[in-house]
Amino acid sequence: MNPIKGNCHCGAINYELTSDPQLSFICQCRQCQRITGTGHSAEFVMPSQKANISGELKFYEMVSDNGNTVSSGFCPTCGNPILKKSSGYPGLLFFHAATLENPSLFKPQKVFWYASRQPWDYVVPGLEVKDKT
């Protein structure tokens, strides 16, 4: 199944993953609501040395709801958010699941920031719920 591939909407950013994700999750925090423009993000975690990225991401820095500095990496051409980095988790990349060439490979395990969810946002039932990351 490796390498797993993904890309942005316009194709300027491409990536290949040389191992399986460490963790896959849904996050309902307020920042993820803003970044995705909807109720939650769907993300998987990769060590940065296991991800080969081609194309130049642009980064936007923000403070996450738990106080970490989070950089959101997006395609400067089409604006598609691709991944995030967090000061709380050095060496890790948090990819947005739907940027995968085959998003059905994404198998979420947990829900973070459930307490911040919007009343209209529903996620896959049966996931382990954590209040915060």
Please give the residue ranges that form the binding site for Zn ion (CB under 5 A): 8, 10, 12, 27, 29, 32, 75, 77-78
Report the Cα 100 to chain-centroid distance in Å.
11
CB of 28 to Zn ion, least distance (A): 7
Nearer to Zn ion, 2 or 61 (CB): 61
CB of 42 to Zn ion, least distance (A): 10
Mention every residue, 6+ apart, whose C-beta is less than 8 A from residue 47: 19, 22, 91, 92, 93
Nearer to Zn ion, 27 or 111 (CB): 27
Could you identify the residue written with the tokens 């993000």? 41
Q: Are 3 and 96 in contact (CB under 8 A)?
A: no
CB of 26 to Zn ion, least distance (A): 9
Q: Are 78 and 10 in contact (CB under 8 A)?
A: yes
With CA atoms as reference, report the closest residue to 59 among 71, 47, 45, 43: 71
Nearer to Zn ion, 63 or 78 (CB): 78
Nearer to Zn ion, 2 or 115 (CB): 115
CB of 75 to Zn ion, least distance (A): 3
Q: What angle do CA 100, 108, 14 make, to 5 degrees?
A: 15
